[in-house]
Structure 1
Amino acid sequence: MGAFNIFSLVFLGAAFIAQSNGAINRFIPMWCVDLHATPKGSTYGSTKDVMQACVEAGTCIGFKKISGNEYRLLYGLTNYAFNETSRDYYLWDKTGGKTFPNQPNELDALILFAIYPLGECPVPFYVDGSLCRGFSEISREICYSYPTYMAPQHDGTNCYVLQKQTVINSWA
């Protein structure tokens, strides 16, 4: 029952909307959720400005409110954690409205599409056979911080995770 209440809080919030080249881009307030992502770059003084910057930034996955009216772009999402008091994160919804019957919970489709913002592998991974291989700078700790549905494995040198479509197929 507690999980239902948390998900209700996550999805009851109104989406923030940004437009770019005629496209509508939704940013979902992630109430009660901390995103494990890196804030980078300049600060922005309004949600409109930070959303526009995110849409133009390629691998941006959303933004974080860092103080009263200051926001920073987020990159490199690895996972999330529930936090009842969190009201600081906004995730760019790249799902196109897609959900999958066997996804672990209501939030995980949003998370999956944010971890894989550009294709079959997370940034900075690349396709290696049927898996995604991370560069050797990805530590064992970071590797195993990815969700278990990505089947993260570290061989002592490199981190490997499933390709996005493989995860989606497992949720079908």
Structure 2
Amino acid sequence: MTAVLAHEIAHIRHKDVAVMTLASSFAIALAAFAKGTGRAAVEAPGLFFEEFPFGLLFGLAILAGGAAAGLAGFLAHLPLRWLSRSRELAADRAAADLLGQPGLLASALLKVHEEGGIPLRDLRRGVPALGLVACRTKGGSLMATHPHVHVRVRALTG
């Protein structure tokens, strides 16, 4: 329990919530733009065909812009996932330094991983927050927000 609290205190000291919020603002803006253009295209279909050549070109431009923003938003999340994984490793290192016993955190990580396993869905009920162990991702390590437990334990003990 002490090791888990030290890990979370390290997140607070490093201001990880502020770092991730600032880093994700561009990706959030792109995703909102893509969603808005998609909604505009769906809600106003008559607009595109009223003035045949110009309305259709305008509609296609909106759809292309929304698709490009959606793709850019997805690609913008990749560095965020890397940043999140690096912040987790930094919190692990800081917790180990704070306690002076990296084995305590390694033991806690292994215990959480082996006993309950890592859930397939996020159990935080829509509240995005930093946690010791995040849910598994189907996209593999590229989309994971936390490094694999064995990578974290190796970094602590090796």
Shorter-chain TM-score range: under 0.3
Larger fraction in strand: 1
Larger fraction in helix: 2
By relative contact order (CA 8 Å, sep 6+), the higher-ranking structure is 2
Normalised to the residue count of structure 2, the TM-score between the two structures is 0.26
